[in-house]
Structure 1
Amino acid sequence: MASHKDSFGRTLFIVVGLCLICAVFVSTAVVMLKPTQEENKQLDKQKYILEAASLVDAKAEKVSKAQIIDTYKKYVEARLIDIKTGEFIAGDAEAFDQKKAARDVKTSFVPENDIASVKRVADQAVVYLVHDDAGKLTSVILPVHGYGLWSTMYAFLAVEPDMNTVKGLVYYDQGETPGLGGEVQNPKWKHLWHGKKLYDEQGRVAISVTKNPAVAASIHGVDALSGATLTSKGVQHSLDFWLGKEGFATFIEKARNGGLS
């Protein structure tokens, strides 16, 4: 009769063996699926950039993968900029990982006025120049993010060539409360941003996410989300930060003075 110790040893051997086999299968699946995951991630980003530029409806089921890729290649040009100087710089903008760069102390800085709770800002950023069939610039898309109630919210802000008029604000990654803060992705709320002005005549950030009906009806105002005060403040703080001096303000000023021509 086998001893209790022998039975335990065999059981342990089987358990360890099964764990190792499962680990091999999981690791293999991760490696094999990574290229597909990266491709889908890139496709998803392109889709939301195109939505911000009013070139596709990201929620439309009829938008195919080929349509997204072809439309993006035809109309969108990704460019790297130095966030502090606002100048275009050489580099592969499509391959640049801005989130990764922001986590590295060698390629980022800590903002002095971190009202959006971004913690660190990458030294470089990607902006997207959108052209029409004739090659004329129709909009510039800026990636912005900031903390809401529960999560860091990521969006693409599209502005007209005057670098002041909003063409679209599209949140593509957020973890706010569904039906409340999650309404940042509601088409009706997104539509409120069209045509709003970001800066006043003195060049100060003037866009306001507000509960004041009179201000919301103005050229600089947008209705705050109902029942989502902290998420609305998060949107406000994100725009205040990224439109300010530690964000895209220097680039925007250069663009207004012919830096995109």
Structure 2
Amino acid sequence: MEEKPVNKTNTNGYTFMFSIIMVVVVASVLAFTATTLQPIQNENVRQEKMQNILATVGIETERSEAEELYNEYITETIALNEDGSVAEGTDAFTVDLAKELKKPGAEQLYPLYIANVEGAKYYIIPLRGKGLWDAIFGYISLKDDVNTIKGAVFDHKGETPGLGGEITQMWFKQSFADEKIFDSSGNLIGVSVVKGNVDPTNKDDNKVDAISGATITGDGVSDMISERLLRYLPYFKKQTDIKVAIQ
């Protein structure tokens, strides 16, 4: 009786080899795509960073126009040492705050952006802290008295939508405008996110309304602001043109 030829495509060896080839092909395509898109992604991140910095001083712009406006309004980009001295040769934009926070305080660099908008001077400070699930971060700008907040932007990695994720919403960010970071005695205490803020129009109480159901995220924002701002106090104390009385 004549034997039928073996169909090699039905063998285990063929299946195994086919799977290996597909894995290699798919992995190669994904690696090529990731490599190709990486420069575009990096550029988007860079432009978005400029957008956020500008937003704190009231300059809202499309991503494609961010760099032009950034170069127009941001007049200085410096990095500070712990004692408030300027780290020569370091551009604030190149400082990775997430990496800096892993270092001891004395070894960290503290990026600072200085803007001039229609003759008004602003100091823009990057923020980074801990929310409920992961990192929270953003920027806060101070008017030239280094006491009054001009604006703030916040973002997060993994806060709960509708709860802690609300820190990105305009109503929350706008609540920080014109709040003071020093108390009546001249001590830098930042701004606290608190429940039941009696008078949201009172800009001298160092408080803004909390997000309902997001206490831990709100506490993270409060801690992040006070901790980061305190790091810049040595620099501000050295500036002779600052109007606020700093203790």
Q: TM-score range by the shorter chain?
A: 0.7 to 0.9
Structure 2: any 5+ residue segments left out of the alignment?
243-247
* Distance in 2 separating the partners of 1:254 and 1:34: 41
RMSD between aligned alpha carbons? 2.6
Are positions 1:252 and 2:236 aligned together? Answer: yes
Structure 1 equivalent of residue 33 of structure 2: 29
Contact 2:112 2:125 in 1 (8 A): yes
Q: Deviations over 1:99-158 (max 9, x none)?
A: 23444xxxx21x6xxxxxxxxx9611221111135xx45211101111122221101011
AA partner of residue 95 (structure 2): F
* Distance in 1 separating the partners of 2:156 and 2:163: 15
AA partner of residue 144 (structure 2): P
Go from structure 1 to structure 2 and tell me whether the alpha carbon gap of 1:95 and 1:202 turns closer, same or farther (over 3 Å shift).
closer
Are positions 1:71 and 2:69 aligned together? Answer: yes
Match for residue 238 of structure 1 among 224, 228, 232: 224
Structure 2 equivalent of residue 183 of structure 1: 166
Shifted more, 155-164 versus 219-228: the winner is: 219-228
Go from structure 1 to structure 2 and tell me whether the alpha carbon gap of 1:12 and 1:122 turns closer, same or farther (over 3 Å shift).
farther
Are positions 1:11 and 2:15 aligned together? Answer: yes
Equivalent positions of 1:125-140 (< 5 A) are 125-132=110-117, 136=119, 138-140=121-123
Structure 2 equivalent of residue 196 of structure 1: 179
Go from structure 1 to structure 2 and tell me whether the alpha carbon gap of 1:137 and 1:225 turns closer, same or farther (over 3 Å shift).
same
Structure 1 equivalent of residue 51 of structure 2: 47
Structure 1: any 5+ residue segments left out of the alignment?
57-62, 112-120
Equivalent positions of 1:152-171 (< 5 A) are 152-171=135-154
Contact 1:130 1:140 in 2 (8 A): yes
Go from structure 1 to structure 2 and tell me whether the alpha carbon gap of 1:102 and 1:207 turns closer, same or farther (over 3 Å shift).
closer
Q: Deviations over 1:206-251 (max 9, x none)?
A: 533222434753512211222211111111111221122xx22222
Contact 2:51 2:63 in 1 (8 A): no
Go from structure 1 to structure 2 and tell me whether the alpha carbon gap of 1:65 and 1:189 turns closer, same or farther (over 3 Å shift).
closer
Under a length normalisation based on structure 1, what TM-score does the superposition of the two structures give? Answer: 0.80
| Residue 22 of structure 1: how far off its partner (Å) | 1.1
Under a length normalisation based on structure 2, what TM-score does the superposition of the two structures give? Answer: 0.84
* Distance in 1 separating the partners of 2:151 and 2:107: 24
Shifted more, 93-102 versus 159-168: the winner is: 93-102
